[in-house]
């Protein structure tokens, strides 16, 4: 936007969204007032490949399990306790995690529980997710994970009057998948802009989610183009300034070509 102003470049109707809290659950996009947007398609800058546009992204489900055991002194009366961490560990050990197939992944990402090493832990919280480009697979893997936790509690074999152990399960639909046709204007425009710059622009499938998923669900088709970021979600994450410049040039060319159509971007 600054380059356009400083160089007095022509541009068509543009709406720019700066969302917040993307990494913790696309919260900015989810809580945005979509009535403020009149555009029918657009672009999000949130991927690695500067010569690719993401057209297919998965649906995702968030899971939280609270495993309830019974506290007791770990040295004086361990037989009176029910170790919630042990039960949760059995449930997790029975899972297939990581890449399930080319369309589906799942992960256990957070475990919290316990107070001290000399106390049988009576509560542990476990959080995870499932993603898939196939909604039936998403449902099946989600149900398999739930069953593993429920079976860990059932197989403990307690007949105590306090109902322990038990597990509370919370399932939340995080975001829905995107499926943009290769002949959609958002793809064609990006490919033409890249060609004008002497570059490729190939359609890509990703296992990640983005604000684009939320906009897509609301009827606004958003392709995701890369900024060159590497090793995302690790302490080694980085981005090259040269790659960011390439993305900036691409966006400027998209805007220039879009100006000729007069449509709202």
Asked if residue 167 has pLDDT above 90, the reply is yes
Percentage of the chain modeled with pLDDT above 90: 92
pLDDT at 263: 62
Q: Residue 185 — pLDDT band, cuts 50, 70, 90?
A: very high
pLDDT 10s digits, 58-93: 999 999 999 999 999 999 999 999 999 999 999 999
CATH of span 60-174: 3.30.70.360
Domain coordinates of the chain in residue numbers? 2-58+177-259, 60-174
What's the rounded mean pLDDT across residues 221-234?
94
Q: Which pLDDT belongs to residue 262?
A: 66
Question: pLDDT digit string (tens) for 248-265?
Answer: 999 999 999 999 876 665
pLDDT at 76: 97
User: Which pair of tokens denotes residue 265?
Assistant: 């971007």
The whole-model pTM stands at 0.89
Cα angle 103-108-110, degrees, rounded to a multiple of 5? 145
- The domain 2-58+177-259 having CATH identifier 3.30.470.20: the answer here is no
d(CA 46, CA 219): 19
**Listed residue (14, 13, 59, 42) closest to 219, CA to CA:** 42
Kindly state the average pLDDT of the residues 11-21: 93
> What's the pLDDT band for 170 if we cut at 50, 70, 90?
very high
Cβ–Cβ < 8 Å for 166, 97? no
Q: Residue 155: left (phi > 0), alpha (psi -120 to 50), or beta?
A: alpha
Residue 171 neighbours by CB under 8 Å, 6+ apart: 61, 62, 63, 142, 146
Mean pLDDT for 156-172 is: 91
CA–CA separation, 224 vs 186, rounded Å?
Answer: 10
Helix (H, G, I), strand (E, B) or coil at 182: coil
Where are the extended beta strands (E) located within 193-233? 202-205, 221-225
């Amino acid at each position: 936007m600054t380059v356009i102003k400083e160089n007095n470049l022509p541009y068509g109707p543009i709406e720019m969204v700066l969302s917040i809290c993307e990494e913790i659950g696309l919260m900015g996009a989810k809580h945005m007032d979509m009535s403020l947007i009149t555009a029918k398609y657009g672009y999000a800058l949130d991927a690695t490949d500067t010569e690719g546009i993401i057209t297919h992204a998965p649906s995702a489900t968030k899971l939280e399990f609270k495993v309830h055991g019974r506290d007791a002194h770990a040295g004086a009366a361990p037989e009176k306790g029910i170790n919630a961490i042990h039960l949760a560990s059995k449930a997790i050990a029975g899972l297939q995690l990581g890449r399930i197939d080319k369309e589906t992944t799942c992960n256990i990402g957070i475990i919290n529980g316990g107070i001290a090493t000399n106390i049988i832990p009576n509560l542990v919280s476990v959080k995870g997710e499932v993603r898939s480009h196939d909604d039936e697979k998403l449902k099946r893997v989600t149900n398999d994970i739930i069953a593993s936790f429920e079976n860990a509690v059932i197989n403990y074999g307690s007949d105590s009057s306090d109902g322990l152990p038990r597990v509370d399960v919370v399932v939340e639909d995080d975001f829905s998948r995107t499926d943009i046709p290769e002949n959609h204007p958002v793809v064609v425009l990006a490919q033409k802009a890249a060609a004008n710059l002497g570059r490729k622009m190939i359609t890509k499938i990703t296992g990640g989610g983005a604000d684009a998923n939320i906009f897509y669900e609301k009827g606004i088709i958003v392709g995701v183009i890369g900024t060159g970021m590497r090793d995302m979600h690790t302490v080694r994450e980085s981005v090259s300034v040269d790659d960011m410049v390439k993305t900036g040039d691409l966006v400027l060319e998209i805007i220039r070509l879009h100006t000729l159509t007069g449509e709202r971007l």
